[in-house]
Amino acid sequence: MGEAVEPDPFSELRAFLREEIKLAPSRKPSAYEAVKAVLPEIKELKAKCKTDAEIRELLARMEVKLSIATLRQYIQIATRELAGHKPVRRRGKVQAKSPAKALRAPAEHRPGQQPRSTAARDQGSTQGRAPASPALGHRMSNKDL
């Protein structure tokens, strides 16, 4: 007649998690989300000659606490984002160099530049002066003085 259906081994876990979802408080929006949401009002305040410090104090009254520098940064980022620009990524993986820079030939292989020989450099540098000391590195012996 009817087939026996196996009980779901995760039904108890699902019921528990659903209950937790109902009981969990909703998260408070971040300061950036708050600035982005009220950006038109912030721009109007700036148009009425309100300073960033005054705007920051108004936001702090509504428990959106941030520094003046952070407020300025959030206004700038939100303005760009609402204008349709992609946010600038400053952290994370290093971006690959552009192909023009990556394919640039080393100096000795570039056309038009000829490396100077060391012999010509050495002959020109000793005219009228004592030859350079043979010491290598950063330490000198008494015989080099």
The answer to whether the predicted template modeling score (pTM) of the entire model surpasses 0.85 is no
Does 140 reside within a domain?
Answer: no
Token output for 78: 């939100």
**Do 37 and 78 contact (CB within 8 A), yes or no?**
no
Token output for 80: 């760009």
Q: What's the structural domain count of the chain?
A: 1
CA distance 85 to 88: 9
Structural domain range at position 76:
30-89
**Do 75 and 117 contact (CB within 8 A), yes or no?**
no
pLDDT tens readout for residues 48-73: 999 999 999 999 999 899 999 999 99
Contacts of 14 (CB under 8 A, 6+ apart): 8
